Structure formats: structure tokens, C-alpha cells
Structure 1
Amino acid sequence: MGPTIHDVARVANTSKSTVSRYLNGQKVKKDTQEALEKAISSLNYHRNENARRLVMSRTNTIGIVVDNISNIFYSGIIRGIEAVANKKGYNCIFYSGTSNSKQEASFLHLLYEGHVDGIILLSFQKRDQKDLEQMMEVPYPLALIGDHGELDGLFSVDIDNASGVSDLVTYLYGLGHRRVAYISGPAHMGPIKYRLKGLHETMNELQMECRPEWIVSSDWTNQGGYEAMKELLKQEGFTAVIASSDETAIGALRAIQESGIQVPDQLSIVGFDDITLSSWVSPKLTTVRQPLQEVGIKAAEGLFAQIEGTEEVDCTAHLYKPTLIIRQSCTTL
């Protein structure tokens, strides 16, 4: 058996209660602190966290359930979550929904069984309405990142996808473009609905021409963008293309260039996401940047507000507006 709090008190020549206060972050006299630190070091003492958690009825741990741990977009969000958790003295445990072939709602047992003090569900996929309704009934700290099904009563954080596409349409309109094509994404992804909404609403407001044959789908990959652009090029009349992701835009850009069309002189193109590669292709891609780290910070702050119970939590959707990044892939008509 390792050294105990009694051993630390004996070596430091102080009381057990003084050791306990020091270990819990309370102030003690300077000479006492020095004696305690020396005793802890010499004994190689480590406090029993399990016992401490039982006393405090907390695990000092939050769970983050990620639908696809390899998704590069989640790294910024995770950094934001971890920054807040570290300030609070909490650890993060990550769970992969993909590797376990489980639905998000199946991880809620971690809350009911007391394995974690709160959970953040991170997914940009479209969520099932029944799962969302089940989440609304959870009496424990819970935060969603991504699709919230437009339900009030859940603390959720997401990108304002409609606003991001609206900014792209408005930018192209300002350059003189009135006929714009659009490459959408896979139907199972949550942002698709809102990006299309931003497209249609803004084009209607600006009285721009929006033909159904100028809207095609992709799977948000380079290859998908390439194939979608090949289909669009069978049509005529549009002067610019909005791709609903940078990966898609980069694939589309290759298809355009292979067809002999000059970008941006003959055709303008924009993306969505501002991935690193978007500034390395030629021409450099105009796009919108998602504030991913801010999303992670907001989700964690909302979760800890529920855990600590120190303030009223606004259980609505908190949307973060993307930023327009202008580069070289568009021209004025």
C-alpha cells in the first residue's frame, strides 16, 4: 500500500486536516506549505482520486462523444473544449460513435451511471428527431454541437451555415454575378439544409436567377466535387459556382481547368470551410472560415454552467457566423 495522508502529516509534522486543506487548494502558512511539499515529494505521495470523487460526488471528468474522431474539422472544436476544461481542472474522455457503431443517444448512460459529470455530443450529421427528444429529457448537464433539430430546450452550438452561404452569394452579386450555380453536399449532413436555405433566400432577395439544373449534389470529397462540376459543365449560362465545402470546390476547380476554362477570368468559384489547402491551390480559393474553436469554447462554457449551477443557462441554439475570406478565385464582370 502506498503512502497515505497520515504519512504526509507525520513527516511534515502537521495535522491531517491541514494536509487535506492544502491538497484541496486552500491556503496554509508558507513554512507549512514548504514542509508539506517536501513530505509529498519524499514519500512520492499521490492522493486517492477515486475516494475524493466519492466524497465530492463528482468525477471531475466530462465526456465528448464524436461521430468521427478522424474528422479534421473537429480538432479546432476539441481545442476549444479542452481549453475550458483545463481551466476548470477537469479531464476530457473521448468516445467515438463511429468505431463503436453506436447512436449518440446510447452514450447517455454515462451520465445516468455517474461515469462523467457532463457530456458534449459533437456531430455535423443530421440528428434523428426521436434522439433529440430523448436528449431533452436528460436531467444531467448536456451540450450539443451541430444539428439541434430546431428544438428549444437543448443547449446547442453550431455554425450559422445559412449566413455563410448568404455572404458568398452577396459577395458574388457585388462583383456583378447574377447567374450562380451551386454544388450541394450529402443529404445526411446537418448543414446542408441551412446552406441551401441561405442560397435560396439571398438569391431571391437579390432577384438573381436560380435554375434547378444549376444545383447538383456531391459527397463533399475532391472526387465528388470533380464529378459534380463535370455535370454542371454540361449546362450553360452561369458565371460563378458556389461549392458547399472547400474539398468539393477544389475538385470542381480541377474539372473546370481540365475543360480549358480559365478561373477566374471565365468562371468564378468559391468554397466553404477555409481548409488549409484552399490557400495553396491555384488560384487561391475564396471561401468562408468557420470559427470552430469558438464553437468548442461556447459548448464547454454552457456545459460547465450546467455542472456548476451558478448561472441560468440559455437552452437555445447559439450560432456562430463564418467569416468571408477573399482570395483570387473570383473576378468582376
Structure 2
Amino acid sequence: MNDYLDLNDDALVRYPNPSIGVVVPTLMNPFFPKMLSGIAETARIQGYYTEVFNAAQDGGDWTNLAARFAQGRQQGLILAAPKVTEKIVRLIAETEPMPYVLTDQADDVPGALRVAVDDTTGGGLVVDHLVGLGHQRFAIVCPPQLPFNMAARYRGYLDALGRHGIPRNAVTYVSAPLTREAGQAAAARIVKLPGITAIITINDDLAIGVLKGLHELGKRIPHDYSVVGYDNTDLSNYVTPELTTVNQPVMDLGHAVADCLLAKIERREPEVPATLPVELVVRASSGRAKLA
């Protein structure tokens, strides 16, 4: 049996154990199943099932979630979905008040308990690495509206670029949604921009798409461009060339956020960790800047 269960599955009525709910934006991104495994592992040890609500599946229709609240199935919620956090917090207040904890993907809620990864430092590590390789002109690929954690990464990029004296006109922002297909399309735009030698993407899916797009355009990585992602998803080690990226302690994040929620449920004082550390994983997709 899976460690976590789909909240939309009516078969869940068979499980009488207390449960916690987790709201995620998607299960297609490999980050979230891995985080869910960490949550479920901690919850199971303490006698709770983990029920998953996939926000993408219901397209913003929260009636199903509200019905589950009304059944009193969940003792608490972990919110990991951007754009819907405020709606769900309001729904909790209107239906079945319960403890909740945010991960760093969720929108900001004043006074709410949040467990987060040190993404600002992670963004800085990316820039430090590339500047150390001699890169001076950059493309940053990300969507125009960033969730809490990705906004922290972006701040980390900009802070580090400023620290290294890289002027703003040496950095081009390339707008793209968080998909591999969008990364592939972004590559076609980047190759038309003069002077860029380093491409930073806000997550690994975008980076994998960029690699594919550059390959199809006959570009060599890292000879023509260095590409650095973020998340260290499983695929990052299987693309060619292997992707330089930032590793997040995703399982640890799952353990920590579950511990905090269960403490709130059981009326204990949560031990909220400081931001969880990240590390740069250097692989073959980054190299020294090509001389002009």
C-alpha cells in the first residue's frame, strides 16, 4: 500500500485511523511525491495516515476538500500549493477549524507557521559557481509570478549578481511557465540574444527543456552555454549532459513539516527548524565561459 493516499479516492472511507491532509499543486513535478514520502513516513510512525489533495486535479473546485473537512477526517493540513493558500485557509475557518502548517511553496499567510528551505542561499550558490567559471552575461528562465520559495531563489540570484558587480543589463529575464516544453521554447529565444553564456533556470524541469532545445539547435553544452537548474530531481542525473543543480533536502522538508503539524495537533510546541540547508551539485552541464 502507498504511504500516502489520494484524497479524492472514495475508498479512503475504509481507513478509520486519524489522518492529516496535504494540499499540493501537482503530482507531475517529482519534487512533490518525494516530499509526500517524507511527510507520510513521519505521519505513519506517529499513527496517522496522509491524504493528498491535488489542486491541479480539481481545477480550483474546493467542494470536495470542504466535504472531507465536514467528515472530520483530517486532524490538520499541510499547505504546499501556491495561489490557493488564502482560499484554503479561509475554507478551514468557515468549515472545520484545524491546525495547519505551510511549506515554502505556499503563499504567505501572516502569522502562519512555515517550514522552508534556504532558497536565497541556493540562488546565490548558482551565481557564485557561474561567475567563478568566468561567466558575465546570463539568462534567467522563470515564470513572471513566483511562489514564495522561487521568489527567494530569484532574490538569491540578484543579490549574488550584485555582490559580484554584474550589471543589470548583463542579465536577461526569459519568461516561461514551469514545464520542460517551456524550457525548450525558451532555448530558441535565448540563442538569438547576443553574448549570453550562462542560463539559470528556476527549476530542473525548465533546465531539462532548455538542454533539449539547445541540443536541437546544434549547441554544445557546456561549450556554448552553461545550464544550471534547481531541485536536483531524479532526472537531473540522467539527462545528457548531466545537470548542475541545487539539491534541496526534500525528504527532510517532509519530515520537518509533518513533525510541526503533528505537534500542533497534539497541542505540543512545534520545534520549527531554521531554514533547511541546500547544496550545489556540480555536474557536466556547467563549464568555463567561452571566450569571445
Aligned positions of 1:162-241 closer than 5 A: 162-185=120-143, 187=145, 189-211=147-169, 214-241=172-199
- Give distance in 1, aligned partners of 2:89 and 2:216: 45
The correspondence for 2:207, drawn from 249, 252, 261, is 249
- Provide structure 2 residue ranges, at least 5 long, that are not aligned to the other structure: 1-13
Letter in 1 for 2:35: I
Contact 1:272-1:289 within 8 A present in 2 as well: yes
- Report deviation, 1:130: 6.1
Deviates more, 1:267-276 or 1:183-192: 183-192
The correspondence for 1:90, drawn from 40, 48, 56, is 48
Contact 2:18-2:75 within 8 A present in 1 as well: yes
Contact 1:65-1:104 within 8 A present in 2 as well: no
From the CA coordinates, give the structure whose radius of gyration is larger: 1
The correspondence for 1:320, drawn from 251, 257, 276, is 276
- Report deviation, 1:145: 2.2
Q: How many aligned residue pairs are there?
A: 275
- Give distance in 1, aligned partners of 2:153 and 2:234: 21
- Give distance in 2, aligned partners of 1:215 and 1:114: 46
Letter in 2 for 1:323: E
Contact 1:185-1:192 within 8 A present in 2 as well: no
Aligned positions of 1:1-333 closer than 5 A: 60-102=18-60, 107=65, 110=68, 114-123=72-81, 125-127=82-84, 129=86, 140-185=98-143, 187=145, 189-211=147-169, 214-310=172-268, 312-313=269-270, 319-333=275-289
Contact 1:244-1:272 within 8 A present in 2 as well: yes
Q: SS where residue 51 of structure 2 aligns?
A: strand
- Give distance in 2, aligned partners of 1:244 and 1:181: 11
Letter in 2 for 1:327: R
Structure 1 residues 71 and 262, CA gap change in structure 2 (3 angstroms):
closer
- Report deviation, 1:305: 0.6
**Bigger share in helix:** 1
- Give distance in 1, aligned partners of 2:188 and 2:177: 14
C-alpha RMSD of matched pairs (Å):
3.1
- Report deviation, 1:119: 1.8
Structure 1 length normalisation: TM-score? 0.71
Q: What percent identity do the matched residue pairs reach?
A: 28
- Give distance in 2, aligned partners of 1:281 and 1:222: 12
Structure 1 residues 276 and 148, CA gap change in structure 2 (3 angstroms):
closer
- Report deviation, 1:285: 1.2
- Provide structure 1 residue ranges, at least 5 long, that are not aligned to the other structure: 1-48, 54-58
